Amino acid sequence: MMTQPLLNYTRLGQGPLVVLLHPVGLDGTFWGDLPRRLSDRYTVISVDLRGHGGSSPAPRPGTMAACVADVAGVIKEAGQGHQTAVVLGLSFGGMVAQNLAIVHPELVSGLVVCGCGAFIPPAFKHAILARGSDAEQGGMQAITAATLERWFTPGFMDSPEVAKVRARLLADDPSNFAAAWEAISEHYAVEKLKQVTVPALVIGGSVDLATSVEAINVLAGAFAHGRAVILEGAPHMMQIENQDEFYTPVRHFLDQMEK
């Protein structure tokens, strides 16, 4: 009997490790051309977080600690126990990346954190959990339209890329989706981010309906060595809708780290 890996991931290229952590409900294939473009100089590890893609189902309730432990295991395995990684996470993946750098600083050489804040305000926790419970009660079709509206601009909504995202969401298991929102609801890293001393690039979109420019700037300022970049006209799924604009600061940051 075949069993799913705890965390499925793909490897592309050779060189310093770059680990990609995707948004909630997606998987490691939703990075556009980024893995291929970075693989000329870097080993790019595209992870399926637990409950996503080819990885094992997520335990319930979902916890941020479990997500962090999972990714730490991938970095140790991919780096053969002696190589650190630049961790790039977007939305849910960016929250996991922040907490990973706090709990396992020995594994992280740099951070690129996109489309997320430093914490989930306590007043929003109920609404965050409702995104998962709505999917469990009404199926993934109950939350897909609203999710896509938060993620993309109206003019991009009819694109083939959005169609692929829609299909991925509709194919998700509602329990796995809810587990991810349970983990997200626990995210509160802001008071510990000054402990993170590696370089940190924080990328936001100027028209992101899920994460404000203010939240991006607060996150950048919470790091000991953080810097914010705002992509003009970019929404939450900037890595899909604004691939070239997203690639440019990511590549510059990685190449500067290697000098």
Question: Is 4 part of a structural domain of the chain?
Answer: no
pLDDT in tens, 158-190: 999 999 999 999 999 999 999 999 999 999 999
Report which of residues 5 and 184 the model is more confident about: 184
Question: Is 232 part of a structural domain of the chain?
Answer: yes
What's the N-to-C CA distance of the chain in angstroms? 48
Count of domains in the chain? Answer: 1
Does the N-terminal peptide bond of residue 61 adopt cis geometry, omega within 30 degrees of 0? Answer: yes
- Mean of all residue pLDDT scores within the chain: 96
Q: What CATH number corresponds to the domain at position 91?
A: 3.40.50.1820
pLDDT of residue 65 exceeding 80, the answer is yes
The residue type at 236? H
* pLDDT, average across residues 34-55: 98
Question: Is 47 part of a structural domain of the chain?
Answer: yes
pLDDT of residue 259: 77
Cβ atoms 191, 202 nearer than 8 A: no
Question: Is 21 part of a structural domain of the chain?
Answer: yes
Cβ atoms 64, 187 nearer than 8 A: yes
Range of the domain at 48: 9-257
Report which of residues 5 and 164 the model is more confident about: 164
pLDDT of residue 1 exceeding 60, the answer is no
pLDDT of residue 91: 98
Question: Is 25 part of a structural domain of the chain?
Answer: yes
Question: Is 106 part of a structural domain of the chain?
Answer: yes
- The Cα-based distances of 156 to 23, 163, 211, 233, 247 in angstroms read 18, 10, 19, 12, 19
- The Cα-based distances of 8 to 16, 75, 78, 177 in angstroms read 20, 12, 12, 17
pTM strictly above 0.85: yes
